[in-house]
């Protein structure tokens, strides 16, 4: 088996992905000082950039799979090196060669399930809308105001289904005219793209776009910042532009317009965690906080590493599907910060963050002292 991609091929693929930017790097190392990996183990984006510049990348290395695409180093880099795009380009080469380190191998199963069932969980497509059984949730039809797109985690994962149900409760309470696509919905394709499988991403995107157009969808409400980012910033490459709104923005609108009434108190200390793809990648910091601040009795707390400096949960860049050993999970650090500021609830607005935080609650043995909640779950409790 070929283990080291030829020099010329690496250069070509990197160039095709804006990686000429690699040449701008002057090896200052700022990227390494802000990268969350260096809080749990050593890792150097600077080294990856340097090796790629000279075509010396070892595509067998675990390191090219480590970046969570959290967006911290591109914001700090003084030379506009496109670390995320170029790092993903290296994964594309590894994917083409079929070279996956052991920790990355679960991606193969994920890919198969995405092709066959449109979700990463090896669940049947026909069960996609089961979370909505018994709730007043209709199938989307042309002319409805809004398509609610819960995404894969909220459709299938037992913990995250609670967030989908809370969202449906809120939308019904506010009298929103919405529907879902059920088994016609596919994974948005964001995380598989970040693992380097560009063809599968395009396939999923084209299928979703066709479904949206065929069903007369104009406005899409999403729960996942990853769906938000993909629909808003990546699907336009297919010459389409849907109106996309994240649930945190929509909740803020519904409350401000008087359509959603908060009737109860929530007497807890709540720390809010900014998901990378909501905050750094899309600049949405204020709406989730303004929603939480509207709840009587709720004490909103800030943790270290908030807003633009938010600490990644570890789930982006396809890492949610890869194995991260104990002791190297960023989500553990985040929970320690939440406990450190005295929070009783760690709240966020992203399914990957919730999944990782729930794991860390068990690992750190803080199940009794710290709850993990999506902001929709808190709102659903107080309306």
Q: Can you give the binding site for ligand SF4, defined by CB under 6 A?
A: 25-31, 34-37, 45-46, 49, 67-73, 77-79, 81, 83-84
Helix (H) or strand (E) holding 267: none
- Shortest spacing between CB 333 and ligand SF4, in angstroms: 13
Half-sphere exposure at residue 79, Cβ-oriented, CA atoms within 13 angstroms: 17
Give Cα 293 to chain centroid, integer Å: 24
Helix (H) or strand (E) holding 372: strand 371-374
Helix (H) or strand (E) holding 158: helix 158-173
Q: Based on CB atoms, which residue is closest to ligand SF4, 42 or 141?
A: 42
Q: Based on CB atoms, which residue is closest to ligand SF4, 49 or 291?
A: 49
Q: Based on CB atoms, which residue is closest to ligand SF4, 32 or 344?
A: 32
* 234 SS3 class: helix
Report how far apart, in Å, the C-alpha atoms of 49 and of each of 43, 262, 337 are: 12, 50, 31
Q: Based on CB atoms, which residue is closest to ligand SF4, 103 or 253?
A: 103
- Shortest spacing between CB 19 and ligand SF4, in angstroms: 11
- Shortest spacing between CB 32 and ligand SF4, in angstroms: 7
- Shortest spacing between CB 232 and ligand SF4, in angstroms: 19
Q: Based on CB atoms, which residue is closest to ligand SF4, 58 or 207?
A: 58
- Shortest spacing between CB 38 and ligand SF4, in angstroms: 8
Residue 134, Cβ neighbours under 10 Å: how many?
8
On whether the CB atoms of residues 214 and 185 are closer than 8 A, the answer is no
Helix (H) or strand (E) holding 225: helix 225-229
346 phi and psi angles, rounded to 5 deg: -105, 115
Structure-token pair, residue 320: 């949610």
Among the listed residues 89, 143, 162, 182, the one whose alpha carbon sits nearest the alpha carbon of residue 358: 162
- Shortest spacing between CB 309 and ligand SF4, in angstroms: 11
- Shortest spacing between CB 33 and ligand SF4, in angstroms: 9
Q: Based on CB atoms, which residue is closest to ligand SF4, 77 or 221?
A: 77
On whether the CB atoms of residues 41 and 66 are closer than 8 A, the answer is no
Q: Based on CB atoms, which residue is closest to ligand SF4, 70 or 301?
A: 70
């Amino acid at each position: 088996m070929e283990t080291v991609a030829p020099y010329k091929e690496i250069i070509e693929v990197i160039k095709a992905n804006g990686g000429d930017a690699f040449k701008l790097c002057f090896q200052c190392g700022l990227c390494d000082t802000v990268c969350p990996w260096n809080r749990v183990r050593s890792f150097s984006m600077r080294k990856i950039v340097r090796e790629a510049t000279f075509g010396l990348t070892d595509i067998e290395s675990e390191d090219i799979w480590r970046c969570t695409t959290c967006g911290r180093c591109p914001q700090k880099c003084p030379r506009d090196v496109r670390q995320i795009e170029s790092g993903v380009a290296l994964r594309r080469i590894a994917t083409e060669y079929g070279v996956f380190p052991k920790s990355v191998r679960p991606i193969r199963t994920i890919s198969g399930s995405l092709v066959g069932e449109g979700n990463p969980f090896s669940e049947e497509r026909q069960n996609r809308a089961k979370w909505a059984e018994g709730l007043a949730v209709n199938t989307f039809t042309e002319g409805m105001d809004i398509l609610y797109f819960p995404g894969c985690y909220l459709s299938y994962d037992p913990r995250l289904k609670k967030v989908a149900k809370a969202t449906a409760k809120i939308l019904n309470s506010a009298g929103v005219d919405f529907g879902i696509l059920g088994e016609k919905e596919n994974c948005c394709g964001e995380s598989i793209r970040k693992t380097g499988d560009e063809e599968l991403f395009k396939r999923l995107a084209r299928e979703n776009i066709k479904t949206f157009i065929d069903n007369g969808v104009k406005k899409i409400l999403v729960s996942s910042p990853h769906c938000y980012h993909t629909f808003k910033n990546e699907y336009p490459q297919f010459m389409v532009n849907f109106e996309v709104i994240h649930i945190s923005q929509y909740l803020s609108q519904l409350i401000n317009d008087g359509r959603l009434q908060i009737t109860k108190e929530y007497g807890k200390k709540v720390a809010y965690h900014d998901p990378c793809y909501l905050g750094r990648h899309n600049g949405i910091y204020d709406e989730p906080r303004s929603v939480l601040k509207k709840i009587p009795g709720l004490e909103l707390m800030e943790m270290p590493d908030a807003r633009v400096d938010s600490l990644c949960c570890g789930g982006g860049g396809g890492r949610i599907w890869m194995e991260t050993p104990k002791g190297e999970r960023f989500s553990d650090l985040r929970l320690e910060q939440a406990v450190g500021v005295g929070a009783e609830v760690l709240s966020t607005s992203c399914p990957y963050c919730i999944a990782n935080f729930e794991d860390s609650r068990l690992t750190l043995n803080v199940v009794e002292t710290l709850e993990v909640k999506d902001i929709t779950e808190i709102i659903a409790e107080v309306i």
